[in-house]
Amino acid sequence: MINEERLVGLFLDLCRINSPALQERECVAFGKKVLEDMGLEVWEDDAGAKIGGNANNVIARLPGNKPGAPKIFLSAHFDTVEPTEGLIIEERDGVFYSASDTILGADDYAGMAPAVEAVRCLMESGEPHGDVYLLFTVSEEIGLKGAGALAIEELGLDFGYVLDTGPPVGSFVTRTATHDKLDIRIIGKPAHAGKDPEKGINAIQVAARAIDGMKLGRIGPELVANLGIISGGTGTNVVCAEVRIKAEARGTSVAELDAQVAHMIQRFQQAAAEYGAKAEIVHDRHYHSYQIPDDAPVVRLAMEASAKLGMNPFTRTTLGGSDANVFNAKGVPSIVIATGMTEIHTHDEHVSRKDLVDVARLAYEILVSAARD
């Protein structure tokens, strides 16, 4: 049923298009044409204008042929975590790798290509089905921005699946963390480092005092925190007057997350007070957690489809986010289907032919089983 060469060909074509966040126009145009050529109803929204990008989300609809069957969606994202210009792809023992100095882009074309293939096969099979939507978003990697701009709540969907996490194929993410971001600005006082250092307040020193003893990394089984970016200073002969720090924390327990964020903020505020500096801190709840029970239709259907194909179905928790966080927050039950993409966000990223095919098989089985139920 799954056409492996057609599936792999689409995956490779997508990977070869340079498509970093906010710059997905070429890949969106390509993907939109593929969907139109399949005979789907296809349109774009106005996400680009809302988020400051050059491309919109793409929505495609296959009208149902069985009245009363659930209206469901498959979703993936167009953007890659970094540019892939000049990408060279090599296949070794049935596994695709980047042979160039860039990521492969399996995140998330290892979700998008199987989703498209599953719908192709559904159209070719003649099997009964309800309305099926493909929701392909932009700028997921920089904060789920495309999903945030997508009016999914207006489509009348019953539930759906985001194909966007790592293996094992046949497993599903049904529980995630809440994710908070901190943007910290430490304001000291400049002075000549050789002539009048005592007149300055070194913002780097303030930041170091705050960070020393701060709880970071894995704090609990489902609570983590990280300082990801630190920048500041104008020269070695100037007492550093300003430092900016970008940080985050994630946790499945909102109470534990709130306590961790309060701890981080307090460390910066105390250090600033100690040195006579200032700490300006912006705290943003980036996205909310979700937990979908195992007996919910969206989970039950996926688990049964996975088992039917001889996979090992199970549900799992992740501290990473996906468009499913946004879709659930907008009232559309959504879980994440595991794909074969491995070592994502690194230049060792790879995915196998077998996993691409198995994800397409699973997505197809979910679509046809939804109408049978």
Residue 14 has, within 13 A of its CA and on its CB side, a CA count of 28
Residues 313, 170 contacting (CB under 8 angstroms): yes
Catalytic residue among 107, 117, 131, 140: 140
Name 221's Cβ contacts closer than 8 Å, sequence gap at least 6: none
Cβ 70 vs Cβ 133: under 8 Å? no
Query: Which residue do the tokens 């957690």 mark?
Result: 289
Q: Is the peptide bond before 107 cis (omega within 30 degrees of 0)?
A: no
Residue 193 has which token pair?
């480092």
Q: Rounded to whole angstroms, how far apart are CA atoms 324 and 331?
A: 11
Phi-psi region of 5 (alpha: psi -120 to 50; beta: other; left: phi over 0): alpha
Could you say which of 79, 131, 323, 355 is catalytic? 79
What is the spatial distance between Cα 246 and Cα 327, in angstroms, rounded to a whole number?
A: 26
Closest CA to 106 of 358, 354, 363, 340: 340
What is the C-alpha separation between 307 and 101, in angstroms, rounded?
39
Q: HSE on the CB side for 253, CA within 13 Å?
A: 10
User: How far apart (Å, rounded) are the C-alpha atoms in residues 183 and 209?
Assistant: 17
Cis peptide upstream of residue 313 (ω within 30 degrees of 0): no
Q: Is 212 a catalytic residue?
A: no
Helix (H/G/I), strand (E/B), else coil: 59: strand
Cβ count within 10 A of residue 229? 10
Is 196 a residue of the active site? no
Write out the catalytic residue numbers.
Answer: 79, 140
